[in-house]
Chains A and B, each alone.
Chain A
């Protein structure tokens, strides 16, 4: 069987270790890339987005949110290092909506420094992503 192993790591916890996968979709700064087995060695910078890991028939697909970090492909092992990351199952949609509203409100304030602008824009990005993924998963869940 041609597959590789994926690790998803964040500073505060290990989200996934050694998940077998046939292909994965990684959001990088230059767009989403698809990695298949026998891929060349690559280190890519991540962008806030959805990371999807597709397993074969026995292993279910898994989806994670990722923010800034890197993706490293070395041999048949892929390591995702991300600052903040969550699996779709554990996203709390109400909380995401609250934080989206909160961050948007902060962004509309006139007295915003550059740093704060970046911080809250990222927050909006993250919250949007969470909502999107949670909805997708909910729809998926219902169809089953």
Chain B
């Protein structure tokens, strides 16, 4: 049976935990707002880029780019974007589950797994043929750092080292919700049906300066890089969102724990007082008798 002193200690330490979780929740909320803002500011660019590529490639006959080419090569890359720190609910474990499922599914591919963020790496280590772990100056990779990673894969892909490049990350839906996803980023798939539809929608052709092929040569690598960048941004927003809701429920749990501990402590203290009173009263009575 716990004494009043023990309970007091417990309450104090729970209060400490509560302080930490509330602070972490606030920090995550601020970071989430920032990450969401970043997503919102990239969206117009990526959308415009995509639509331009689609239009141009639909209107141009016979265009070839090394990043569009399907290859027979069975060697493939999977880039897993997870977090460096824990305490973010099921963020990493769900992603790890997805990655493991993907590895079992794609037995026919010789898959090499690269990582951004070390948490999922620890979880899937024994199932995966491990590549490199990328580290960045800050915990959050900048646009330049992300494109450097993307370029590295593009060069390997163009050199025939790998036949496919996948990215595994959590798609941000809301602060409570994210969806672990594996997405193919190379070779870039252009939707043929959509292109046919565009051809009928846009009866005129653009004027190009210099040539449509040269423009696609610029746009296609750019689109690939921005896809990878959006994946990273999504993953970051999902991480902060997930941490925020995890910390929110942790704070709630702390509060309930503190309340029930306080009640228990008060009861015990009351009991102690009652026992002491009885002792005093009975002592006095025995003197009077």
Contacts and interface: CB of A to CB of B under 8 A. Distances in A.
B209 A14 contact: no
- Identify which of B45, B205, B210, B219 gathers the most chain A CB atoms within 10 Å of its CB: B45
A12 interface: yes
B41 A14 contact: yes
A41 B214 CA distance: 17
A23 B42 CA distance: 26
Given A30-B209, A41-B207, A43-B207, A70 B215 contact: yes
- The interface residues of chain B, by DSSP majority, are classed as helix
B169 interface: no
A42 B218 contact: no
Contacts of A42: 206-209
Interface in A24-44: 28-30, 33, 40-44
B132 to A, nearest CB: 20
A6 B212 CA distance: 22
A135 B254 CA distance: 58
A90 B84 CA distance: 34
B48 A11 contact: no
A33 B219 CA distance: 20
A12 B209 contact: no
B138 to A, nearest CB: 15
A31 to B, nearest CB: 10
A140 interface: no
Contact of B45 (A43, A68, A81): A81
Nearest to B56: A43
A142 interface: no
Nearest to A17: B44
